[in-house]
Amino acid sequence: MPIDPVLVVHGGAWAMPDEMVDAHLSGVRNALATGWRVLARGGPALDAIEEAVVIMEDDETFDAGRGSFLNRDGKVQLDALIMDGATLRAGGVGCVERLSNPVRAARKILSESPHVYFVGEGAERFAAEHGVELCRNEDLIIQREVEHLRKYQLEVADPASGKDLFAPAISHDTVGAVALDREGNIAAATSTGGTLNKAPGRLGDSSLIGCGCYADNLSAAVSTTGWGEPIMKLVLAKWTADRVSAGNLPEWAAKEAMNYLQQRLNGHGGIIVLNAQGQFGIAHNTPRMAWATKTIHKEEAGIERSV
C-alpha cells in the first residue's frame, strides 16, 4: 500500500523581528508547495526536498543562495548537503562562491559521484562538468547584505560594543527540508550562506553530514539551523536521529536536541525531524523559527513552536 507523504521545511531560527515574519512565512509556504507537487505525483523524497530548497535558495529572504550573508571579505560562500535515507548516499558542497543553487550541485554529487563532499573550486568544477551553471559571486550579493555586513562590522564586531557575536538576535536564516515519499523513503537537505562576517573558508554545521543534516530510513531525516559551531561539536543531526532509532518519537527527539544544545554548549538554533512512519517534530530554542508542514490531511506554517 502506498505510504502517505509528508513534507517539512524550515527557513531559519532566531529572534526574527515582526517586520520580517511575512516574508519568511511566504517563503516557507512557497517551498512547501513546490516540494509537495513532487510528492503528490508520487515522486521521490529526494526530488521534493531538492526542489523545496531551490525555492528558498532563490528567495532573497533567506541566508541561502542569492541574498546570503556576506563573509568578512564581503563575499558569499555557500554550503549545502543532501542525503538519501534509503541508500545513505549523500552529496555536500562547502565554501562555494559561484553556485546560485548549491543544493543542485550537492544532488549531482549524491547521484553521479563516488565521493560525498567537494569544497571550493573543486566543487564548482564538478558542478560545471555535470551541467550545473556557474555564476559570478557578485550575482549572489544584494545591497541589503552589503549594508548588513557594514553595520555589523562597525557595531557588533567591535569588542568594545559589548555585544554577543552569537546571540540569537543575530540572524540564522539557513533553509532545510525533510520528506517522506510514497515508497516509504525519507531524505533531508540543508543549504546556507553560513554566519554573517564569518572568516573566509569557515564551514558551519549545515553541510556536514550528521551535524546540520542527516537521513536514514532506519532512524530519521533531520535538518538543523542556528549557531553552527556548537551544533557541529555535538554532531546534532545524527545525535537526534539516534534517539529516534532508539524508539523515541521525532517530536520528543527534536525537543531533547534543543535542550542538549542549550545545556551542553549554551548553543541555540532549530531542528526539523521526520521518521519513515511520517511522524515529525519541530523545535527551536530561539524566540522564532520559520517552518511549514504538509501531510495529506493538513497544511500548516508558523514562526513559533514552543520547545
Q: Is 225 considered catalytic here? A: no
Nearest residue (CB) to ligand ASP, 34 versus 225 = 225
Applying the rule CB under 6 A, the residues between 198 and 227 that interact with ligand ASP are 204-206, 212, 225-226
Q: Please select the residue that binds ligand ASP; options are 61, 68, 101, 195, rule is CB under 6 A.
A: 195
Nearest residue (CB) to ligand ASP, 39 versus 258 = 258
Q: Does 68 bind ligand ASP (CB under 6 A)?
A: no
User: One-letter amino acid identity for 155?
Assistant: E
Q: Does 284 bind ligand ASP (CB under 6 A)?
A: no
Q: Residue 110 CB, nearest distance to ligand ASP (Å)?
A: 20
Nearest residue (CB) to ligand ASP, 43 versus 230 = 230
**Dihedral, CA atoms, 73, 212, 260, 31, nearest 10 degrees?**
100
Nearest residue (CB) to ligand ASP, 80 versus 276 = 80
Q: Residue 187 CB, nearest distance to ligand ASP (Å)?
A: 19
- Whether the Cβ atoms of residue 39 and residue 22 lie closer than 8 Å to each other: no
Q: Please select the residue that binds ligand ASP; options are 68, 77, 100, 174, rule is CB under 6 A.
A: 174
Cα–Cα distance, 96 to 201 (Å, whole number): 9
Applying the rule CB under 6 A, the residues between 224 and 243 that interact with ligand ASP are 225-226, 228
| Nearest CA-CA partner of 196 in 220, 170, 176 | 170
Nearest residue (CB) to ligand ASP, 197 versus 225 = 225
Q: Does 173 bind ligand ASP (CB under 6 A)?
A: yes
Nearest residue (CB) to ligand ASP, 5 versus 172 = 172
Q: Please select the residue that binds ligand ASP; options are 57, 63, 84, 216, rule is CB under 6 A.
A: 63
Q: Residue 67 CB, nearest distance to ligand ASP (Å)?
A: 13
Return the HEC string of the chain: CCCCCEEEEEEEEECCCHHHHHHHHHHHHHHHHHHHHHHHCCCCHHHHHHHHHHHHHHCCCCCCCCCCCCCCCCCCCEEEEEEECCCCCEEEEEEECCCCCHHHHHHHHHHHCCCCEEEHHHHHHHHHHCCCCCCCHHHHCCHHHHHHHHHHHHHHCCHHHCCCCCCCCCCCCCEEEEEECCCCCEEEEEEECCCCCCCCCCCCCCCCECCCEEECCCCCEEEEEECHHHHHHCCHHHHHHHHHHCCCCHHHHHHHHHHHHHHHHCCCEEEEEECCCCCEEEEECCCEEEEEEECCCCEEEECCCCC
**Span from 54-62, 122-130, 168-176, 180-188 in contact with ligand ASP (CB under 6 A):** 168-176
Applying the rule CB under 6 A, the residues between 6 and 35 that interact with ligand ASP are 12
Cα–Cα distance, 107 to 104 (Å, whole number): 5
Q: Residue 158 CB, nearest distance to ligand ASP (Å)?
A: 22
Catalytic residue among 61, 174, 192, 293: 174
Q: Residue 301 CB, nearest distance to ligand ASP (Å)?
A: 19
| Total residues binding ligand ASP (CB under 6 A) | 15
- Whether the Cβ atoms of residue 202 and residue 257 lie closer than 8 Å to each other: no
Nearest residue (CB) to ligand ASP, 180 versus 222 = 222
Binding residues for ligand ASP (CB under 6 A): 12, 63, 172-174, 192, 194-195, 204-206, 212, 225-226, 228
Active site residues: 174
